[in-house]
């Protein structure tokens, strides 16, 4: 189950990187699409704080930074605009940070957890704006946060998964196969936005002949079901085992119709075989490679 949760988190992050290379994942940034737009990477400033951090020099706060393509590598600098501004002159407080577990600076594609320290006595004018950027490669992100000593008693944590019931007013239109079902996604996920980003991954992959060999409407219908099944994983059943909406035969039809023989190892249809229980937990990381391959080949 822990492997499944980790893989879902990775996949959910990946869906946000249709056009990007590196971005802040947590706290939630103004825009989930990476950008070199200074000073905050585009998007609108949030009107409410996304998280409360501890303002004490002997305590750390957890941030998550994601590199999708190699040109997003480099040391991550964190700054704080205590007046809530977003111009270069507003970011007057530089925060110390280090990667969890050591290892220096982020140098390759992956997810990096950072311990960030806010100096004792730092206060916000209502809310602060946290800025994260790579000076060497120039990717920027910002998030609205607040500071309070009440957060000093908590332990930094990575993003957790929660259950979402997909209702009609959730506006999930592309992956409508999950309507009225319970899915497992990172806390704070906005279902409509996540659905649109999944649709973006679908369009990019369908247009890439190195991912989808035969781009037809029949192929698209089959691929949509497979991608949505992975992107919006249903909550496990009462026995704790994964629940799927794609059958073994549908997966096989997808491979044949879309002409993906050259990458057949990336599509483990055996995961949908009820007699192959031992392989079920590999579906997310393996299908994740499909999206990674597509995204890398786009640049």
Q: Model confidence over 63-101: pLDDT tens digits?
A: 988 886 666 778 999 999 999 999 999 999 999 999 887
* 8, part of any domain: no
Residue for token pair 């946000």: 16
Range of the domain at 218: 161-297
Q: Model confidence over 102-120: pLDDT tens digits?
A: 767 887 777 788 999 999 9
* 240, part of any domain: yes
Q: 191 and 257 in one domain?
A: yes
Mean pLDDT confidence for 127-141 = 92
Distance, CA of 120 to CA of 54 (rounded, Å): 9
Q: 217 and 189 in one domain?
A: yes
Q: What does the pLDDT read at residue 13? A: 46
| Phi, psi for residue 283 in degrees, rounded to 5 | -60, -45
Which residues, other chains included, contact 154 with Cβ-Cβ below 8 Å and sequence gap of 6+?
54
The average confidence (pLDDT) of the chain is: 79
pLDDT at residue 287 above 60? no
Distance, CA of 202 to CA of 218 (rounded, Å): 14
Q: Model confidence over 43-56: pLDDT tens digits?
A: 889 989 999 999 99
pLDDT at residue 235 above 70? yes
Q: 148 and 32 in one domain?
A: yes
For the chain, the domain total comes to: 2
Mean pLDDT confidence for 163-179 = 92
Q: What does the pLDDT read at residue 51? A: 92
Q: Is 164 exposed, middle or buried (0-12, 13-18, 19+ CB in 10 A)?
A: buried
185 touches 8 (CB < 8 A): yes
Q: Model confidence over 183-192: pLDDT tens digits?
A: 888 777 889 9
Q: 283 and 187 in one domain?
A: yes
Q: What does the pLDDT read at residue 68? A: 65
* 35, part of any domain: yes
């Amino acid at each position: 189950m822990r492997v499944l949760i980790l893989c879902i988190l990775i996949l959910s992050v990946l869906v946000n990187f249709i056009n990007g290379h590196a971005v802040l994942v947590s706290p939630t940034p103004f825009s989930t699409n990476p950008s070199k737009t200074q000073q905050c990477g585009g998007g609108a400033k949030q009107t409410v704080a996304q998280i409360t951090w501890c303002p004490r020099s002997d305590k750390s706060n957890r941030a998550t930074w994601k590199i999708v393509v190699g040109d997003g590598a480099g040391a991550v600098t964190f700054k704080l605009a205590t007046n809530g501004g977003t111009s270069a002159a507003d970011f007057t407080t530089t925060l110390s940070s280090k990667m969890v577990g050591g290892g220096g600076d982020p140098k390759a594609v992956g997810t990096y957890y950072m311990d960030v320290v806010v100096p004792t006595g730092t206060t916000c004018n209502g809310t602060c704006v946290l800025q994260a950027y790579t000076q060497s490669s120039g990717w920027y992100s910002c998030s609205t946060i607040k500071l309070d000593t009440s957060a000093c008693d908590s332990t930094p944590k990575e993003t957790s998964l929660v259950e979402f019931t997909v209702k009609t007013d959730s506006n999930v239109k592309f992956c409508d196969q999950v309507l009225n079902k319970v899915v497992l996604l990172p806390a704070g996920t906005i279902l409509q936005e996540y659905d649109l980003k999944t649709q973006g991954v679908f369009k990019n992959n369908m247009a890439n002949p190195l991912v989808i060999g035969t781009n037809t409407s029949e192929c698209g219908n089959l691929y949509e079901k497979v991608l949505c099944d992975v992107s919006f994983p249903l909550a496990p059943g009462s026995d704790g085992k994964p629940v799927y909406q794609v059958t073994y035969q549908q997966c096989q039809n997808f491979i044949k119709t879309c002409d993906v023989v050259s990458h057949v190892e990336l599509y483990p249809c055996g995961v949908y075989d009820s007699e192959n229980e031992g392989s079920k937990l590999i579906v997310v990381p393996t299908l994740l490679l499909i999206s990674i391959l597509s995204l890398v080949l786009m640049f």
